[in-house]
Structure 1
Amino acid sequence: MSPVNLLLIAVTAILSWMAFNNRKLADRLILWPPAVDRHRQYDRLITYGFIHADWPHLIFNMITLFFFGRQIEAVMVAMTGSYLTYPAFYLAALLVSILPSYLKNQKNPNYLSLGASGAVSAVLFAFILLSPWTTILVFIIPAPAIVYAVFYVGYSIWMERRGGDRINHSAHLAGAAFGVLFMLAMRPQIFNHFLAELANPRFGFGG
């Protein structure tokens, strides 16, 4: 069971669907820096992650969150004994992943950002830290999680510098870093576990 993860998916799916058909709602939830900077609408630093640009954007993020979020929720509940740890982690990931973009574009009235990708990256990289050799499907192509992680980080850095595709790659990178750092802060011994796992490749699909 992963009640919190399922609730996050449900809320995100419902709000995204509503925003597809309600421009006023989308405009209120999306990250628009002047609204934060001038009107003190700080909630936008979180709410942007509960709406998406289109159905493929939403479905990809929610499928990833479904498969990896349930496992990270279970790990966090086992570590802390609380169901509050995982939602706190997820919401903090939304905030931390968007901060670099927000600070860079704080005075830019033309900048907009939406989608859960930064927080989903945090969840995915928390999982990779625990199970680096698990085989995951990347656009139906199987790959060890650690190989995907290296490619993902390298691609995101390259595309962030290149620009032009309207994807917030800095949020992906910040989210991934936050996912790793949060896990290590919660249980520093995980780093030794990660090194031990790297030294002993075992291939198999996660589930």
Structure 2
Amino acid sequence: MSSIPFTFIIIGITVLVSLAAFSNKSLEYRYILNPYIVHRRKEWWRLLTSGFLHGDFAHLFFNMLSLFLFGLATEARFHEIFGEKAVFFYLLLYLSGIIIANLPDTFSKKNHSGYNALGASGGVSSIVFAFIMFEPTAKMGAYILPPFIPAWIFGLLYLWYSKYMAEKQYDNIGHTAHFWGALWGVIFMILTFPPIIRIFITKIAGSFQ
């Protein structure tokens, strides 16, 4: 087990790459997710590299704050259940979360040459929802509100809101990536650690006693 949580390493790399791209638009253009380019040039790496880029400081800050708040706890749980393979599974969850969250728009927007997407939201959502599977009764809330509802209820509301906003397209936020990244966090935990289902149900049931 590394003396430095891998969450900090991911945050450090993401911050450095994002800051570099802020002042180097050619770097951003080379690695941003543009479905039109991905399909025509076969540059599939963009599904992953776009997760290390951000639109502005606020976008970067809130994604990395979320990763910090939930990543450390999730990483600790991974060490408990996966032992020496914890870092491998943690990285696999985060990186695959970025890729899977980008897949829907990569195919649905493949003929839209002006469409671009970037940000770590898919990977971060995967980490957050892995945490929810471990701690469904933990209190959670939005940034502007104190924690006040159980994590599992927050998760359901988050999925509903992300799906609703993705369908309505009221803003330029990647709600589709949020939804699929979050869902992947749940699926990943069930596939790699099936007892999580029992843990999840038992903790929720215990909260009603």
Relative to the length of structure 1, the TM-score reads 0.92
Separation in structure 1 between the aligned mates of residue 129 and residue 27 of structure 2, nearest angstrom: 31
Contiguous gaps of at least 5 residues in structure 1: 203-207
Task: Tell me the SS of whatever aligns to 2:207.
Answer: coil
Provide the residue aligned with 1:10 in structure 2: 12
Post-superposition Cα deviations, 1:136-180, rounded to whole Å, max 9, x if no partner, equal 341231222122212211111111111130111111111111100
Provide the residue aligned with 1:65 in structure 2: 67
1:129 aligns with 2:122: no
Task: Tell me the SS of whatever aligns to 2:111.
Answer: coil
Provide the residue aligned with 2:47 in structure 1: 45
Contact 1:94 1:118 in 2 (8 A): yes
Separation in structure 2 between the aligned mates of residue 178 and residue 147 of structure 1, nearest angstrom: 17
Separation in structure 2 between the aligned mates of residue 156 and residue 34 of structure 1, nearest angstrom: 24
Paired residues, what number?
A: 202
Code of the residue aligned with 1:79 in structure 2: it is I
Code of the residue aligned with 1:100 in structure 2: it is P
Separation in structure 2 between the aligned mates of residue 165 and residue 197 of structure 1, nearest angstrom: 36
Provide the residue aligned with 1:187 in structure 2: 193
Post-superposition Cα deviations, 1:83-105, rounded to whole Å, max 9, x if no partner, equal 22211211111111110111111
Fraction of identical pairs, as percent? 36
Contact 2:35 2:105 in 1 (8 A): no
Separation in structure 2 between the aligned mates of residue 198 and residue 2 of structure 1, nearest angstrom: 32
Contact 2:67 2:127 in 1 (8 A): yes
Separation in structure 2 between the aligned mates of residue 150 and residue 180 of structure 1, nearest angstrom: 12
Code of the residue aligned with 1:140 in structure 2: it is I
Separation in structure 2 between the aligned mates of residue 131 and residue 140 of structure 1, nearest angstrom: 22
Residue number among 13, 16, 22 corresponding to 1:20 in the alignment: 22
Contiguous gaps of at least 5 residues in structure 2: none
Compute the RMSD of aligned alpha carbons: 1.4
1:167 aligns with 2:173: yes
Code of the residue aligned with 2:89 in structure 1: it is T
Provide the residue aligned with 2:156 in structure 1: 150
* 1:135 CA displacement: 1.6
Contact 2:51 2:118 in 1 (8 A): yes
Separation in structure 2 between the aligned mates of residue 201 and residue 116 of structure 1, nearest angstrom: 32
Separation in structure 1 between the aligned mates of residue 17 and residue 188 of structure 2, nearest angstrom: 27
Separation in structure 1 between the aligned mates of residue 78 and residue 45 of structure 2, nearest angstrom: 25
Separation in structure 2 between the aligned mates of residue 11 and residue 92 of structure 1, nearest angstrom: 17
**Structure 2 vs 1, CA of residues 88 and 60 (structure 1 numbering), >3 Å: closer, same or farther?**
same
Structure 1 segments, 4+ long, off by >3 Å, are none
Task: Tell me the SS of whatever aligns to 1:172.
Answer: helix
1:99 aligns with 2:88: no
Separation in structure 2 between the aligned mates of residue 97 and residue 68 of structure 1, nearest angstrom: 18
Post-superposition Cα deviations, 1:18-37, rounded to whole Å, max 9, x if no partner, equal 11111111111110112211
Code of the residue aligned with 1:159 in structure 2: it is M
